[in-house]
Structure 1
Amino acid sequence: MFELEQVLHRVQKPARYVGGEWNTIYKDWGKTAVKVAFAFPDVYEVGMSHLGLQILYHVVNSREDALMERTFAPWVDMEREMRRRGIPLFTLESHRPVRDFDILAFTLQYEMTFTNILNMLDLAGIPLCSDQRGPEHPLVIAGGPCAFNPEPLASFIDLFVIGEGEEVFHELLDLYLELGGHRAGRRHFLRRAAEIPGIYVPSLYRVEYHPDGTISAIEPIAGGVPPKVTKRVIRNFDQVSFPVKPLVPYLGVVHDRGMLEVQRGCTRGCRFCQAGVIYRPVREKSPATLLRQASKIVKHTGYDEISLVSLSTADYSRVQEVVRSLLDQLGDMGVSVSLPSLRVDAFSVALAREVQRVRRASLTFAPEAGTQRLRDVINKGVTEENLMEAVSAAFAAGWQAIKLYFMIGLPAETEEDLRGIAELARRVLARGRELGVPRNRLRVTVSASSFVPKSHTPFQWEPQVEMEELYRRQALLRGLLKEKGLVFHWHEVEASFLEAVLARGDRRLGRVLEEAWRLGCRFDGWSECFDFARWQEAFRVAGLDPTWYAYRRYAYDDLLPWDHIDAGVSRKYLVLEHKRAMEGKVTPDCRTGKCPGCGLCPTLEIEPELLDRAEGVSG
């Protein structure tokens, strides 16, 4: 053990490292059979805003035979002090070294955190590569959205959890206890773990390449190992255990509020959206469950805001009823309700008035594209009329600031689409003026990210637009959005480029990741830390061309690096959706009752869990 106090006065935000938050769970180390360290590869403020952390912390600590503690990526000042003083990576609950735990579990939310994973392993004193670890080292596992293309991290992770983790984590812990832990036989444990649905063990698969660098085969190297790993999905979602005593941070975090998951999945089918595929099918919770959970969260935390969390909260069948009921139940206590994700076609005057009864939160709408033609290409399913109705409702209900989210560099984008973004923003600004919003307070913020092709989407075959062209498109928008009341935000092009490289990458990128880390790459998602020149040097040393990954247009019959990971949606359907996109054809929302034929329900033997909008009957 070490004295944490000897370094805290030397770093910014020492509360990141001390633990002791309200609702922290402490267990007897000596009386608990299996110990898990949950590792979030970013700073405390980001990690503590992640609902998945709270869920798994609750799931594992609900077992008498297991404990879970937390660790986060130390900021650069803390890392410097830790390395100087020989302090290993430690958990917040017990301040024990991470290497003392049985399992180290990383969550993969964003490709630009990958070098932090390597840095955390090194700080923990754990060999970076899985084939260099022995019985004295923890089992290193990972899950989350980026696990749907796990290959860039294949050398460093012992096993990946594909899909939702609530049930599979229990099965993994049960196997661990059954076999007496991995330390008596790491290979045997991994071989048995590969038999659990949803578990991918990269060391049990061989990847072969054509002379041109494309993949020729991805095959299991042992009998009984599945050729494809199919994602895990939670059924009976209304009954799934949910944390109603979440950890309450002392430090201000990104999303410092109570989180209530109203549904999981999305039926819309936006063609760029990976989350819409990997979290299918949609499963909704009943209003009674949500009201009960919300009441307990407020009681156990003291939060004055409840956020209704999902990929598209306004699509939840009973959203207006639940918002009204929550405010009736909690509003007198000063508790407000926020809707962090709104579709422009699912917002009404009534809903706007409900959510601002206690406190007016910010509103963000996502038209994604500037013209109807391009919105049809991406299957956004909304019109300019929808947007104007939504912002009119918001302005009429008292909002003075609106945020609009767009993507640039989408497949088939033209100059007209870019100009359409500026024209749409100006129309929203004009509508606010028409409805009497004071000019000195009226603000329309336009945020434009760069399109990154993701695995398991209809656009997985598409290249990213080249960097110089993205720079040009950003500059065009900057010029078009120079008007009082308009604010323009954009993302770093180089970071989006690297995100595309890693999102579409194969196992060979492991060499690049390790070299980038050795060159000092850390916190690559943070502009103040990101150093593109170091990444360029890492690719040069590894002998790989990053543009080959980001700018390559795949053919439909190419074997993709992630083809052995099955998200449940058929390849045939993704091809069909890509063709429909190029023809500008839309695919209807499966909530309407017409199945688009994605193949997920028969493949996973599951159906959407939707509520009747009128009576609340599960259907």
Structure 2
Amino acid sequence: MKKLALTDDILMKVEKPARYLGNEYNAVYKDPSSVDIRFAMCFPDVYEIGMSYLGIQIIYDMLNQREDVYCERLYSPWMDLDAIMRERHIPLFALESQDPIKDFDFLAMTLQYEMCYTNVLQILDLSQIPLKSADRTTDHPFVIGGGPCAYNPEPLAEFFDIFYIGEGETVYNELMDCYKIWKEKGGSRKEFLIEASKISGLYVPSLYEVTYHEDGRIKSFGPVEPEIPRKIKKQVVSDLSHTYYPSNPVVPFIKVTQDRVVLEIQRGCIRGCRFCQAGNVYRPNRERDLDFLKKYAHDMLISTGHEEISLSSLSSSDYSRLEELTTYLIQEFGVKERVNISLPSLRIDAFSLDVMRQVQDVKKSSLTFAPEAGSQRMRDVINKGLTEDDIFSGAMEAFNGGWNRVKLYFMLGLPGETYEDIEGIAKLSNDIAALYYTIPKDKRPGARVDVVSSTSFFVPKPFTPFQWVPQNTTEQFKDKQHFLSRKMKEQLNRKSMRYNWHDFDLTALEGFLARGDRRVGEVIYRAYKKGCMFDSWSEYFYYDRWLEAMDEAGIDPAFYTGRAREYDEILPWDFIDAGVTKEFLWREYMQSRKEMVTPNCRMQCSGCGCRVYEGGVCFEGTN
């Protein structure tokens, strides 16, 4: 039995001790003295959130297949343990070995959401690693950041040694080999970072400098030495059916957010929604082979004992063999083993009634649709590609298929939005509820329908056609939400409708961080020093402290959220080649202002830039 980093008296004082014990089923254990590289993979949020993330499981499995690397996991200690560790000066540790992270060679963090940024500093602080890259020596781990937020790494540039841009299966092995050579030579920390910067997809912020115009806009951005690449090219796995995937994922001891087997059926998206960062940066669209998915579904269900399998994708309905896969899973595991099949990210216009009926035979649950906007005009602006007929026919299929609970997702604050568009959300919700009552009573799946409409507030993100637009102010968001709430209450079927909305201040902060530059790092640092952590958790979100930090740093948040950008402005993330070109994104922005729809990738290639990627595949196997 391994020695735990925490004593029994500490474990008795924290809310969920199992978060910190390790020893989970399928966890990997190696002799640390037998490997060349100790690698810590971190999700900077609480265990239950991080254990639900497939990306860490993939990298964990991939690196541990190497005999010379030992990859372990860690997550943000919850506030109760955080306080104890600071009081007793206990260094943050890895779950598997319980060894201090400060003794590792690498600490890699996945950046899934802007609200985790202060938790990045918590991880470094508790690990007793200097917060800023410039203060680290060869005695400290190299700190790597990856994930969707790495597509604008600049707000966190001071805190990371390296950013990994793209999909993790591509160049991590090359980086490990580079490290072994450097370690054997005994070079300086900077020498390793220079060598790492030459690996495609790796960005080393300390090797670049930025200057600013008097008005605050970026004047120049580039490498400090000629051997350093000017552009960082996103890394893409071209063949998803012959790459790493965990057949024995780690099984948590406690219930986590996604307590199920996750089967990633494809990456990328053909749809081109103009608000969606993931749909742009994860291009091109690539599908996994059906036999690959069958094999891993079987292996993971057997190795984990989970009773549910979720098909992961940005748009599951667009997977060309969805019906075949679902039929197989239902027959093989649903009927025989009573395993529930979860199908998130389904589009109304592509939803198969046959698939619905197969899924409902195992377990009935609510269905989630995302019209995103209440009017056809706004759906055209954002290139959603849904008509009102698509929405109604999809809803009717759901009701006839046996569902009487529907969740609808919308956004407020979209570019060009009017109050008539907003009222359309209430009317559409009402019309969907009314549609249910057109079904004869004896054929309805329940006495009444439950339509739950939720609105988030639109945040312009890098590498989207809306990266140039101003974000609504908190006051505008509040006014629009109050207006919609009143309109919901005026609807005829209001008793069958519920309305939820997102936090105003949290959205304002997300927008500030999403399009920030290097100067924003000082705000993050000051906010952390004021006690900001777990900002995505409402009970620990203190917006007043963030405002104080902005004021002390001399930063006006409106500069990042409230102004429109021009095409020729240098954006903080312009040095990244994410596949989609700036020209394409601007063209889509102009199309949105004309309320014009761009066909999806299967209908017509729009020349986004992904085709020029070496080994890249756009759609249906066409290079």
Shorter-chain TM-score tier: over 0.9
- The one of 6, 10, 14 equivalent to 1:7 is 10
Residue 69, structure 1, aligned to residue 72, structure 2: yes
How many percent of aligned residue pairs carry the same amino acid? 49
1:115–1:517 contact (8 Å) kept in structure 2: yes
- Determine the C-alpha separation between the residues in 1 that align with 2:100 and 2:550: 33
2:367–2:406 contact (8 Å) kept in structure 1: yes
Q: CA deviation at 1:206?
A: 0.7
More displaced stretch, 328-337 vs 111-120: 328-337
- Determine the C-alpha separation between the residues in 1 that align with 2:463 and 2:119: 25
1:526 maps to what in 2? 537
Residue correspondence of structure 1 range 359-398 to structure 2 within 5 A? 359-398=363-402
Residue 601, structure 1, aligned to residue 611, structure 2: yes
- The one of 533, 539, 548 equivalent to 1:537 is 548
SS in 2 for 1:288: helix
SS in 2 for 1:381: coil
1:450 maps to what in 2? 457
- The one of 251, 254, 258 equivalent to 1:251 is 254
1:615 maps to what in 2? none
1:480 maps to what in 2? 487
Residue 460, structure 1, aligned to residue 460, structure 2: no
TM-score w.r.t. length of structure 1: 0.97
SS in 2 for 1:597: coil
1:136–1:183 contact (8 Å) kept in structure 2: no
1:340 maps to what in 2? 344
2:356 maps to what in 1? 352
- Determine the C-alpha separation between the residues in 2 that align with 1:4 and 1:546: 44
Residue 44, structure 1, aligned to residue 51, structure 2: no
Q: CA deviation at 1:349?
A: 1.4
Q: CA deviation at 1:5?
A: 2.1
Q: CA deviation at 1:295?
A: 0.6
Residue correspondence of structure 1 range 78-227 to structure 2 within 5 A? 78-180=81-183, 184-227=187-230
- Determine the C-alpha separation between the residues in 2 that align with 1:283 and 1:467: 38
1:312 maps to what in 2? 315
1:439–1:485 contact (8 Å) kept in structure 2: no
Q: CA deviation at 1:603?
A: 4.2
1:411 maps to what in 2? 415
SS in 1 for 2:495: coil
- Determine the C-alpha separation between the residues in 2 that align with 1:182 and 1:220: 25
1:581 maps to what in 2? 592
Question: Structure 2 vs 1, CA of residues 156 and 311 (structure 1 numbering), >3 Å: closer, same or farther?
Answer: same
Q: CA deviation at 1:427?
A: 1.1
Q: What residue identity is the alignment partner of 1:277?
A: N
Q: What residue identity is the alignment partner of 2:388?
A: E
Unpaired stretches in structure 2, ≥5 consecutive residues: none
- Determine the C-alpha separation between the residues in 1 that align with 2:22 and 2:388: 47
SS in 1 for 2:220: strand
2:264–2:312 contact (8 Å) kept in structure 1: yes
Q: CA deviation at 1:440?
A: 5.6
Q: What residue identity is the alignment partner of 1:531?
A: Y
2:238–2:615 contact (8 Å) kept in structure 1: no
1:614 maps to what in 2? none
More displaced stretch, 63-72 vs 479-488: 479-488
2:602–2:619 contact (8 Å) kept in structure 1: no
SS in 2 for 1:558: coil
2:602 maps to what in 1? 591
SS in 2 for 1:590: coil
Q: What residue identity is the alignment partner of 2:291?
A: A
SS in 1 for 2:29: coil
1:338–1:361 contact (8 Å) kept in structure 2: no
Q: What residue identity is the alignment partner of 1:98?
A: I
Q: CA deviation at 1:361?
A: 3.3
Question: Structure 2 vs 1, CA of residues 500 and 59 (structure 1 numbering), >3 Å: closer, same or farther?
Answer: same
More displaced stretch, 146-155 vs 391-400: 391-400
1:41–1:73 contact (8 Å) kept in structure 2: yes
More displaced stretch, 428-437 vs 399-408: 428-437
Q: What residue identity is the alignment partner of 1:307?
A: S
Q: CA deviation at 1:95?
A: 1.1
SS in 2 for 1:307: strand
Q: What residue identity is the alignment partner of 2:429?
A: A
- Determine the C-alpha separation between the residues in 2 that align with 1:427 and 1:551: 35
Question: Structure 2 vs 1, CA of residues 381 and 307 (structure 1 numbering), >3 Å: closer, same or farther?
Answer: same
Question: Structure 2 vs 1, CA of residues 455 and 16 (structure 1 numbering), >3 Å: closer, same or farther?
Answer: same
Q: What residue identity is the alignment partner of 1:252?
A: K
2:105–2:142 contact (8 Å) kept in structure 1: yes
1:107–1:144 contact (8 Å) kept in structure 2: yes
Residue 560, structure 1, aligned to residue 571, structure 2: yes
Q: CA deviation at 1:504?
A: 0.5
1:301 maps to what in 2? 304
Residue 264, structure 1, aligned to residue 264, structure 2: no
Q: CA deviation at 1:480?
A: 2.1
- Determine the C-alpha separation between the residues in 1 that align with 2:126 and 2:67: 30
1:494 maps to what in 2? 505
Q: What residue identity is the alignment partner of 2:578?
A: A
Question: Structure 2 vs 1, CA of residues 4 and 169 (structure 1 numbering), >3 Å: closer, same or farther?
Answer: farther
Q: CA deviation at 1:609?
A: 5.2
Question: Structure 2 vs 1, CA of residues 527 and 182 (structure 1 numbering), >3 Å: closer, same or farther?
Answer: farther
Q: What residue identity is the alignment partner of 1:397?
A: G
